[in-house]
Structures are given as structure tokens and as C-alpha cells.
Amino acid sequence: MRSEEVKRLARECGFELAGVARAEPAREAAWFQEWVRAGMAGEMRYLTDHRAELRNDPRTLLPSARSIICTGKLYNGPQPYSTRFNDGERAWISRYAWGEDYHGILREGLQRLAARIEAEAGPFEWKICVDTAPLLERVYARQAGLGWIGRNTCLIHEGQGSWFFLGELLVSLELEPDTPPPDRCGTCMRCIEACPTQAIVRTGKPEPAWALDARRCISYFTIELRSAVPEEHRAGIGNHVFGCDICQDVCPWNRKALVTADPAFAPREMAPPLEKLARLEEREFREMFRGTPVTRARYAGFLRNVAIAMGNSGAEKFREPLEALARHPEPLVREHATWALNRLAARTASRS
């Protein structure tokens, strides 16, 4: 079967981007291991435990794999970017988490793709990967021609931007691989300059010259971190309560990014009022965000994030809900609510 036919089928299965890479070790695997050893994964143990070594070779996931069909599904909406949203009394949720959880959507699309290929090429072995699998997704997506990896470590497509979910189909078929595109970041440093917590750091090496230090990243703090957010980074979080898009919002390649027509990614809760979020019981939190990625933050972690955002707002109207959070049974919530109250008090004192 020809690669062009596979890519046509992928587009018919709902993927805007598709390409083919060889199922073999990539030189970037060594970079990933260096990143892990440097501690930049923070507390994300699923990146540093025994699964870290599995990322060295895609054939650990499917021994018969000869090719990787890489796909990208657009999730961008017409709503304003976070860098143009100035309502400090509302919470910002990362664009990717506004609608349905993408894992199931991509998996269904890749299952359809496997069935379509099998109908035309006959039986073969295959395995679906959607970011929870130990596979260097962006590395193989680049090899498959889907885009280059920018300084913000996101995959960027020249014509369509970076608002893509990535999914892969490892197959036992021998398919002609695509060619990686050139890096087109040039001398632009906007993502690095815009990051409030300076999470994009120099490596001191020619390749990769830049890396994302999760220990300084707003997305890591608000989604992955289960403990207290380092106090020196709390102010930089602003009104983000789940994830962060700033390094993509400022990217010039996203100025004319395409917009998805898929209703699954339409926002349920784009920027809900912080006061409403602070009053959520755990049952209400689960109901409000059921079927979306937001539940990954967990209830206590989410309230921690809400408390930080309230403290950063400087709004006196949040004093009462913060006082309630300061009495919350979870120590994690109490600590951050107390910090937020002190921050409000300091702002009041400075004004007077």
C-alpha cells in the first residue's frame, strides 16, 4: 500500500494532518533521557520510571512495527487567545481542555483508520498510541512531515499552526516515510520571552538548544503537580486554573491558525467565574467537568489553582470565598488560600 493512500484515508477519518515515519529508534531518544536525568520532568513519574526506557524504541510497543502513521487533529476554536483575555475575575482553562477528552476521540479515529487500511491492504498488526503510551510522539510526527518542533517544544505546522492533538498507529506494514520539514522558528524568541515563569530554558548544547523545564511550567503546576506550587512561581500563574497556552498564543505561526469544525471541541467552560469555582463541592466539580481533561487536576488540586488565581486577581470580592477555602479540610487547599489572602492584604496595604 502506498503512503499517499494511507494519508488520504487518515484525512477521511477526520485527521487534518497525516504522515509516515519509520518505526525505529530516533536520535532524540538520547535527548529525552538527558532531560529526565536533569530532573526537568519534576514529579511526573510516568516519564521517569521504567517507561522512560521504553521510549528508546517504538518496537517495544509493537515488535513487528515497521512504520508509524502519525496524525494530527485540530482543536483550535475561534475564541480569543489567553493573551487577549483580561478578565481577572474569571479563570483561564487551557484551550485543549474546553471540550471532550481527546483521548477517546483520537482513538476512535485511529481505529477507523486501521479498519480502512486493513480493508484495502489485508490483515496486518497494529497498535494505537495517544500520548499515554511511552512513545516520543512529536519526534516521529516531525519525521513524518507534520511539522517542526519549536522552541516551546510544540509541533508547529507551517500552514496550520500548533493547535493539534497527536495520535499514532504503529503498523507492521512497510510504508514509504515522509521527510521532516525545516525548522522555521528563525530568530524568534516570543514564546521564551512571554512565559511568565521562564519555563523554556537553554540547554547549553547545539541540539536541542532549548528545553521545557516542567518544574517551572504553569501547565505542570496546575495539572500534574500534586503538592504545593512553589511560592516563587505562584504570581506567574495569573488566572490559570488548568493548563497554559501562552507560548502557543504568542507564536507567529498561530496568527492564521485554522479553526476546527468538530463540535466535540466546542467549549463547555471556557472562562468560568472564579467565585463559582471556589464554591464547588467535589460532586459538583466532577459533574461540571465530566468527560473533559480538567478532572486530571483532581478536586483538591483544582481548588488550589483557584485559590492562587484569586490571590493574583487582587479583587477584594474574593476575600470571603478565600476565607472559606482557608477552612477547607484539605491542607493543600488551606495553604494556598491563606497565601492568597495574604496577597490580597498586601495589595490593599500598598494601595492605601
- DSSP structural state of residue 66: -
Of the listed 49, 87, 101, 131, which one is catalytic? 131
Distance CA 1, CA 189 (A): 42
Distance CA 183, CA 68 (A): 21
Q: 100: helix, coil or strand?
A: coil
Residue 131 is among the residues annotated as catalytic for this protein:
yes
- At 6, list the grid cell: 494511507
- Please report, for residues 137, 143, 331, the alpha-carbon distance to residue 198 in angstroms, rounded to integers and kept in the order given: 24, 28, 28
Distance CA 155, CA 153 (A): 7
- At 23, list the grid cell: 518505526
- Please report, for residues 3, 30, 32, 84, 119, the alpha-carbon distance to residue 105 in angstroms, rounded to integers and kept in the order given: 23, 31, 27, 29, 21
Pick the closest to residue 170 from 135, 209, 201 (CA basis): 135
**Sequence-distant (≥ 6) Cβ neighbours of residue 232 within 8 angstroms:** none
**Sequence-distant (≥ 6) Cβ neighbours of residue 123 within 8 angstroms:** none
- At 74, list the grid cell: 485540530
What positions carry a catalytic annotation? 131
